[in-house]
Amino acid sequence: MSAQRKPRPQLIRTKLPMPCQEPADRVQNFDEVPYGYNEAEAVFEAQRCLKCKNQPCVSGCPVEVPIRDFITLVKERKFLEAAALIKTKNSLPAVTGRVCPQESQCEAKCVMGRRHQPVAIGNLERFVADYARDHGEEVPELPNSTGKTVAIVGAGPAGLTCAGDLALMGHEVTIYEALHAPGGVLIYGIPEFRLPKNIVKYEIDFLKKIGVKINLNFIVGSNKTVDELLAEFDAVFIGSGAGAPRFLNIPGINLVNVYSANEYLTRVNLLKGYKFPEYKTPVKRGKTVMIIGAGNVAMDSARTAKRLGAEHSIIVYRRSKKECPARQEEIHHADEEDIEFRFLTNPIRIIGDELGRVKAVECLQYELGEPDETGRAKPIPIPGSEHLVECEVVVIAVGNDPNPTIPRTTPDLEVSRWGTIVTERSTGKTSKDKVYAGGDIATGAATVIAAMGAGKVAAKDIHKQIMGIEDEKAVEPA
């Protein structure tokens, strides 16, 4: 008689939703919207993982987190071990668990997602990182110092990741940051309700515990040049980001209460303008606020305006909802919060009052034609469709350009026609010896996790170069 087969566990087809604040409540505060999983919810969701042998989800992760293995540890309730495993690849898991576009990366590759909903990898990563923070995770044992030194320009996602990996390899790492707080876009760009600042601070403090030094209020290209850093350090990594806002070439762009999204979000997030007058950073609180653009930054701006008291927070986008570059989760949250979307619409003129303050925007309706060079349907203006939208504040969220300070002060650094630093994608090397670059300064504005991936790539090659390693051995953090 043949042995009786064990019954197969029941397949859970849908991911467990993360509990959130109710929309009517959350628009009244800047507290984080999702509450996160509790232990039981995390274990329940982890049980959906099929433990695939070839782990296709890892191929979708720019920093190659061992997803199957950390989820297995969650199933076994070994939460601290899971956090330690993640941090062998990802220096900022509490951040990426909140803002990474998992739906187009790791979860897009999940085998469960072929017929059902993918495993909620991002939610589990967030849970594990938060659990470790709340339960006293240990600092990893560090290798002996190599005696080699590396300067990192910029304390954003790329710079922090590169710094963390190099520190775990035994190098002395110093970050130079232009602002008065480290974190880059994590601290000045992403709102508190999406990424609490205490989360960012904790992750950065963890890097300090493994030996990373951070110098603030230091502008490389002004206080010191890249060449001056090279005289002191064995290598330099540039992760200065894309902090130069783009504006529209339309009349009225210089009127009072027209903000770039960078300025608007920096005033609110980093300088705590939402607590004015407790903090001395004023932000115009309009009854009607128009946000131009439909990426994640536009969603952040529109949702921020709502929390600042706007009765009407309007997103204007010249294509349809289908073409929105923002994450689906952010669009969904904006919908829930009564953000108004006006698709197939674009501004052609901002109109001011007698004191030069915004009072209305003239817009034009569009229709979609054949795909353009981006592969998206080309917006075509409809003649005679001009109309006015009354508003008091306009926020321009149509993208950013690379910070020009370092390219301008480093003459022998090759720069593209878009102002990005030219690098070898597989190493992060620039045209200048011992100088590497990664993140938005090399690619233009992209995602947090993409910048972190570039930081990891560069850290590996920096280690090889300064240690004189010719092959691929010994290039992983301890």
Structure tokens at 366: 């569009």
d(CA 257, CA 180): 25
d(Cα 243, Cα 95) in Å, to the nearest integer? Answer: 20
Do the beta carbons of residue 114 and residue 159 sit within 8 Å? no
pLDDT at 294: 97
Distances (CA, A) of 358 to 362, 373, 443, 446: 11, 34, 34, 31
Q: What is the pLDDT of residue 13?
A: 87
> Which 3 state secondary structure label does DSSP give 207?
helix
What does the DSSP 8-state code read for residue 138?
P
Q: How far apart are CA 413 and CA 432, in angstroms?
A: 6
Q: Which residue has the tokens 């990474």?
A: 100
Q: Where are the alpha helices (DSSP H) in 4-116?
A: 23-26, 39-46, 56-59, 67-75, 79-86, 93-99, 106-109
Q: Are 288 and 312 in contact (CB under 8 A)?
A: yes
Q: HEC string of 235-277?
A: EEEECCCCCEECCCCCCCCCCECEEEHHHHHHHHHCCCHHHCC
Whether this model's pTM surpasses 0.85 = yes
Residues 6+ positions from 30 with CB-CB distance below 8 Å = 191, 192, 193, 274, 307
Q: Which domains does the chain have, with CATH numbers?
A: 23-134 (1.10.1060.10), 149-243+402-467 (3.50.50.60), 247-399 (3.50.50.60)
For each successive 10 residues of the chain (478 residues), what is the average pLDDT? Answer: 52 90 96 96 96 95 96 98 95 94 95 94 97 92 95 97 96 97 95 95 95 97 97 97 92 97 95 88 94 97 97 97 92 97 98 98 96 86 97 96 91 94 96 97 93 96 94 58
Residue 209: predicted pLDDT: 95
How far is residue 338's CA from residue 302's CA, in Å, rounded to a whole number?
Answer: 10
